[in-house]
Amino acid sequence: MMIFAAASLQDLVADLVDELRAEELQADELQADEPLEVTVSFAGSNTLAQQIMASPGADLFLSADARWMDHLDDAGRLVTGSRRRIMSNRLVLVAREDAQLSTDAPQGDGLRALADTPFRHLAMGDPEAVPAGRYARSALTQLGLWDRVADRVLPSPNVRAALAWVESDPDILGIVYQTDAVTSDRVKVLAHLDPVPGLDITYHGAVVRDGSNPAAAERFLDLMASPKGRALLTEHGFIPVD
């Protein structure tokens, strides 16, 4: 099975794959010497959707927003009825752990001080394409901050790349998902971004048409919706949705 998954799902998907393999062996659906073969490609949801459009091979698409899932759905690339809304997330403002910020640096709910904080760049997913970047731009626009920081934005191909920029330089702040922030012991959370009304941060999954193992892809989605799967989502900091 080939899974195309948003970069922010790396740790979660690894645990879900292990769980799926264990369940299938316990159910004797596979011989012990024939474990389920799974390959995962992680990137920005926009990049993955474009790859799925360009060539066959993917069995399952896990997107960080509805927009790129809609794109594939409209093009007839998804198995009818397989699409699911899975979970939600939050955005946070982060800095490297040793960053020396001024007393006016944003803390807690003080995100409005961001524009007056002495940082060189603000790393985030590319707001023209990457879901996390578009969410971040909308949140900053709602606060009246986007025009004040736009010239310092460092657009990244995915949210994990934005996190890596923050880890590399104490003068770079970043906006990433809270689930990415907790994976790094090199960054600290400065503030949480409030949700934008009418723009929920939601992840979607669907089976891709013409894949080599659609049955396994469907079982993976079933696992994500199961009590055990939802517990894993919560453990990794995601918010399961019905």
What does the pLDDT look like over 171-186, one tens digit per residue? Answer: 999 999 999 999 999 9
pLDDT range class, residue 195, cuts 50, 70, 90 = confident
pLDDT of 28 strictly over 70: no
Distance between CA atoms of 193 and 39, rounded to whole angstroms? Answer: 34
Beta-bridge mates of residue 42: 5
The backbone region for 88, taken as left when phi is positive above 0, alpha when psi lies in -120 to 50, beta otherwise, is: beta
Cβ atoms of 78 and 207 within 8 Å: the answer is yes
pLDDT for res 103: 40
pTM of the model: 0.90
pLDDT for res 107: 47
pLDDT for res 108: 43
Residues 6+ apart with CB under 8 A from 137: 124, 127, 146
Q: Which domains does the chain have, with CATH numbers?
A: 2-88+201-240 (3.40.190.10), 91-192 (3.40.190.10)
Give the tens place of pLDDT for each residue, 89-126.
999 999 999 998 754 444 444 576 677 778 999 999 99
Distance between CA atoms of 1 and 35, rounded to whole angstroms? Answer: 11
